[in-house]
């Protein structure tokens, strides 16, 4: 979550601990945020990301649910981004090519307050860029780049195991779609 916070301008990071969802809703309302992202743990590591919309002091879960296969943290990249203490002024999301990628890019740009970008669009100073890594028929992961010191991958890289869109789960490990 710290790595995601550093590439998400105007974001807040709160250690939830044993805070209930209603307590989290109160905290979100006090901070004036529209969306909440919760990182769930599985087998000792990050397992899923759930998104919520704040409405009248309550949290309402919204799709998608991202199931995480693995994470490569910022400290594992050539540029130790988090230690540089630089803050991003804006986040851009590159347009995806697959229908599911386009849908996910749209939702994530809304949640993160990011600007949707076309692949050929010029880079802006002091921005971070979210890119969905796609195979022919599925999404492999999400990673982040920076334009501060040239266009370089800064992480985190989130490898996806699957995406749940309400009643449909796209499971990437075996290439099938479960209803």
Provide the residue-wise pLDDT of the chain in tens; the chain has 179 residues. 888 888 888 889 998 888 999 999 999 999 999 999 999 988 888 899 999 999 888 999 999 999 999 999 888 887 765 556 667 788 999 989 888 899 999 999 999 999 998 766 777 878 889 999 988 777 899 999 987 777 888 889 999 999 999 865 565 544 433 33
Contact assessment for residue 74 and residue 154, using Cβ atoms and an 8 Å cutoff = yes
Helix, coil or strand: residue 108: helix
Domains of the chain by start residue, with CATH = 2-178 (3.40.50.10480)
* Residue 171: strand pairing partners: 162, 176
């Amino acid at each position: 979550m710290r790595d995601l916070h550093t590439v998400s301008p105007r974001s807040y990071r709160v250690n939830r601990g044993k805070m209930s969802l209603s307590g989290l809703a109160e905290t979100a309302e006090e901070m004036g945020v529209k969306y909440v992202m919760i990182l769930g743990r599985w087998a000792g590591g990050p397992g899923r990301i759930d998104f919520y919309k704040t409405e009248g002091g309550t949290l309402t879960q919204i799709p998608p649910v991202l199931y995480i296969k693995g994470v490569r943290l910022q400290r594992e990249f050539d540029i130790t981004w988090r230690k540089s203490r630089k803050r991003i002024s804006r986040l851009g999301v590159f347009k995806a090519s697959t229908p599911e990628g386009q849908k996910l890019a749209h939702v994530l740009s809304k949640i993160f307050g990011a600007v949707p970008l076309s692949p050929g669009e010029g880079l802006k100073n002091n921005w971070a860029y979210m890119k969905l890594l796609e195979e022919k028929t599925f999404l492999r992961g999400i990673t982040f780049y920076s334009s501060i010191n040239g266009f370089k991958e800064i992480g985190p890289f989130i490898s996806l195991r699957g995406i749940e869109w309400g009643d449909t789960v796209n499971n990437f490990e075996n290439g099938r779609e479960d209803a």
